[in-house]
Every structure is written in structure tokens, then in C-alpha cells.
Chains A and B, each alone.
Chain A
């Protein structure tokens, strides 16, 4: 399975949770983890994240993003848009590789990471054009990204 396919599956699992956060049906990612109406989505997301193939795919994506980052770094002058791409490429690569390291985390911690870190970074990647071919990522929508980002920033 390609990492683009894994991205799509993860995003499809996150989508009901992101939607609930966007509409205010749940006040926070922590609340979403415990909400009975989101139990199916939560379990699907956790099952997805725990697959070894998912971890391998995320690492492969991280490597590819870093290669794009290195290519962009070689350009002598960068536009503001390219600087934004540079930030998304390295930021997403770090988030993806961090996911592969979190083997000792609890289910709730994995869930929060996927909802508050992974999902917004995937959305930024789709918006800045550094990740293509991921229909589910693109379909998350700008508003969804902002809603989840706002929650992430509140947590920080």
C-alpha cells in the first residue's frame, strides 16, 4: 500500500471526529475520545494507526517529504510560498516520524496525536500543494483544518 493510500485511510477515519469538532458537537479532542457516538470512528482510527503497514508507510512518506525538502533547500532564492512549502515539508516529516516512535503511548494519546497533530498537518500539506493524490486529505476542507488547528493551539 502506498503512503498516499494510507494518508487517505487515516483521514477518512479522522473525518467524523474532525466534523464533530468543527460543528461543536464535541468540545475537544479529549471529549471526542470518550464520546459514545464517536466510538466506531475512534476504534477505526486506532486500528489504522496500530497497523505495522501504517507505520512503515508514514516513515516512507517522511523520507519522501524530506527529499522534497532537500531539493527545495538547494534553491538559492525562495518565494514566500516556497518557504511555506519548506515549513510544511519538514513539519509534516517530523510529525510522521514522531508517530512511528510513539509505541509506548496509550490509546488516548495516539488518538489525540492523530486528531490534533497529524490531521492538521496533512491538511496544511494538501493546501500548500506538497502532497497530491490524496482525495480524502483535500476533502477535509480549509474550515476543518482551522477548527482542528484552533483546538490544537488551545491545547498548547
Chain B
């Protein structure tokens, strides 16, 4: 549920930026959109890199499942952020 809400917010932000670009806003906005997309991609890379170092080893069954779920959510969020950043970069070219 939360993942979907986050995705929806990111897509909405993407659409707003694309709409602003399409409405003839100045070059600074275009440049800012590209840079923001690239920065968002960096954040996604950071989350992936940090998540890759997490381990659930040594945990008991219940905690192990919760740990794996948390890591999966982080990976999914990083993926969603990275994907939306790529779309925004493409749209802002």
C-alpha cells in the first residue's frame, strides 16, 4: 500500500515536471529537471548499495522473515526511484 502511494507520488511529480516543461517554461527549469532526475538516480544507487550490504543472517525464523521483507521493500523503493528518474531524464532531454 505504502509502496503504491510512494510510486503514485513520484509519477505525479514526474507528470507535473513534464507538464511544466511542455508549457514552455524556461531553460533553467529544463536543466533543473534533468539534474533532479540525475540526482534521484544517485539516491537510488545509494539505497541499492547500502541495501546490498544488509544481511539477515543469524536471525530466528520470525525475525528473519521480517528482515527479508524490509530489505525487499528497500530494494523495490530504490528500483521505483531509479525507474522514475530514468523516465524523467528521458522526458527532459
A interface residues with partner B (beta carbon < 8 Å): 52, 55-56, 59, 62-63, 66, 69-70, 73, 78, 83, 86-87, 89-91, 93-94, 96-98, 100-101, 103-104
Interface of B, secondary structure class, is helix
Specify which of A56, A87, A94 is in contact with B39 (CB 8 Å cutoff): A94
Beyond the given pairs A93-B35, A101-B29, 19 more chain A to chain B contacts, judged by CB atoms under 8 angstroms and listed by A's residue number, are A59-B32, A62-B35, A63-B35, A70-B42, A73-B45, A83-B53, A86-B50, A87-B50, A90-B39, A90-B42, A90-B45, A91-B46, A94-B36, A94-B42, A96-B39, A97-B32, A100-B29, A100-B35, A101-B36
Q: Which residue of B lies closest to A90 (CB)?
A: B42
Contacts of A94 in B (CB 8 A): 36, 39-40, 42-43
CB atoms of A97 and B53 under 8 A apart:
no
Q: Does B80 make an interface contact (CB < 8 A)?
A: no
Given contacts A73-B49, A86-B46, A87-B46, contact A93 B28 (CB under 8 A): no
CB atoms of A59 and B31 under 8 A apart:
yes
Contacts of B17 in A (CB 8 A): 101
13 inter-chain pairs at a CB distance below 8 angstroms, sorted by A residue, are A59-B31, A69-B46, A73-B45, A83-B53, A86-B46, A86-B50, A87-B46, A93-B38, A93-B39, A94-B36, A94-B42, A98-B39, A100-B36
